[in-house]
Amino acid sequence: MEVKQNNLGASSNQDLENKLVKTYIYALGGLNEIGKNMYCIEHGNSMIIIDAGVKFPENELPGIDYVIPDFQHLIKNRSKIKALIITHGHEDHIGGIPFLIQTVNIPIIYASKLTAGLIKNKLDEDNLNYLTRIKEIDPNDIIKIGAMKISFFATTHSIPDSLGVCIDTPNGRIVETGDFKIDLTPIGQDIDISKIATLGDQGVTLYMADSTNAEVEGSSKSERDVAKSLHEIFKNATGRIIIATFASNVHRIQQIIEASVKYNRKILVFGRSMENAISTGRKLGYIRCPDNYIYDIETAKISAYQNLNELLILCTGSQGEPMAALSRIANNTHKVIKIIPGDTVVFSSNPIPGNLAPVTKVINMLSKQGAEVIVNSSLYSIHTSGHAQREELKLMLKLVRPKYFMPIHGEYRMLKLHADLAVMVGIVNKDKTFICENGDILVMYKGEVRRGKKLEIATKYIDGKDINGIDENVIKDRIRLGNDGLISVVVPIDIKNMNMLKPPSIVSRGFIFLKEWGELLVEAERVVYDALSKLLKERVSLTDIKNTIKKATSEFVFERTQREPIVIPVILIKRD
């Protein structure tokens, strides 16, 4: 076992002091939501962060690319941050790293081999590798940071090299699972049940565990079951096969490639994240494929000359993302691939919460063009979750046997069901479970855990790659624009004599159809004219004029239409 000791280790003179210091545990993201996982452990002058993920926006966040945690608390406590530890390489655990390292100094990132490779690629894209150092770890490593000792255990998930984390502090032991499942016939590494049981035997003060599938009965299917269904599809398909799956599901990609090679289908790869995942996976040895089976985009342009039953198209877009490869294929805007009647399109994933509508839309568009669309069902077992279901969660609780339990990584109902499960199996009493929100602090001291104060934290909305994010008021304006449109009121004013040079002129966009509602705008112009005529009898400020225009227009329009378009006053000023 390799022991890593950084220069932040506590001296013997600090031992007594460390025993008197409390340990704080809290989340900046990942609670009451799926995504943007970020958990902090703080002891004395040392803080470690576990994961730094993003959350992908739902439809009610127009124009937003990512949702990330608010880093204000980390900025205030920047001197305490000693390391970022990553459990695995999914975007909801690593996607926030570029934004984080541009905001606060992260001295070092610890990650397993594949995870480290994915992070390096992500930072290379934006030329950010100089901002931090990435250190590869494996399940046998131990890291000492201040009075904390961090060790790891192998877990099984839908991506290789997943890790759980154990943090030993002077006040007790914390075990955090990361995302996991218990697959007894996995593709890739086994979950280290023996090591987890040993941690439980030695004593675990606080257990923090993945709750994503806490409402799903039974145990999850093995990834090997998916391979059987994929081979059946390859065997029966007579035309091209198009498969969409998560780019980060390296095990699934490997199975798809193996089936393609077995049935002699050349592979076309589309979607930047898919291309990056396959490139990184092949470079590090996690994806194996003969070179002559992978086509690049230039080679793909001659694909029309190949026999249709000799092609596999592997792409992104299993969640109906508008700009992903499969969505562009479905709406006939992809520059290379068009649907050919007889194509078999496979969704090797399940829609994540909030994505059912866009996925259904893509399925319908593909079907209309003559494709046979296959989704995960009782007929075709082409996807299995990477998250533990209720029976697996029970087993982990029995193995860890914690004194206190904090469910993580899930919406409220998932956290609640997981906490109830811990009580049901007799591991903890209800008063020793903590269903927390982002910002809630747990205080661990001398083997006991209680609730502490709550941090005031917010959420950041990222449009493009601007690390500053945008204000919630901008989101509200975008929603109003989408729902009710915009009205622009143009008024030329002689500022010296305080009178209108011409009557107000109103232009609308996204509010009404002019041919049908033109009289409404004419009437609105008269309302604004009357309001300004009355106001301009006295000397007033430009602000007063703008507010009067907004108020008169908004009240009139709402009274007549029950809608609230954004009103933008445009004042043309004559000063001479």
- As a whole number of angstroms, the longest Cα–Cα distance in the chain is 87
Give DSSP secondary structure letters for 223-239.
HHHHHHHHHHHHHH--S
- Asked if residues 44 and 145 have their Cβ atoms less than 8 Å apart, the reply is no
CA distance linking residue 295 with residue 299, whole number of Å? 6
φ and ψ at residue 561, rounded to 5 degrees: -125, -10
- Annotated active-site residue in 383, 387, 409, 418: 387
Buried b (16+ CB within 10 A) or exposed e, 130-160: eebebeebebebbbbbbbbbbbbbbbbbbbb
Locate the DSSP E strands across 170-204. 172-176
Helices 390-400 and 193-202 meet at what angle, rounded to 10? 50
DSSP character at residue 9:
P
Alpha-carbon torsion, ordered 336, 342, 343, 344, to 10 deg: 170
418 part of the active site: no
Of 505, 499, 547, which Cα lies nearest the Cα of 524?
505
- Assess whether 387 carries a catalytic annotation: yes
Give the closest residue to 108 by CA, choosing from 134, 145, 75.
Answer: 134
Of 369, 374, 303, residue with least CA distance to 331: 369
Task: Please state, in angstroms and rounded to a whole number, the distance separating the CA atoms of residues 259 and 242.
Answer: 13
Active-site pick, 70, 141, 168, 210:
210
Residue 481: helix, strand or coil by DSSP? helix
Task: Please identify every residue annotated as catalytic.
Answer: 210, 387
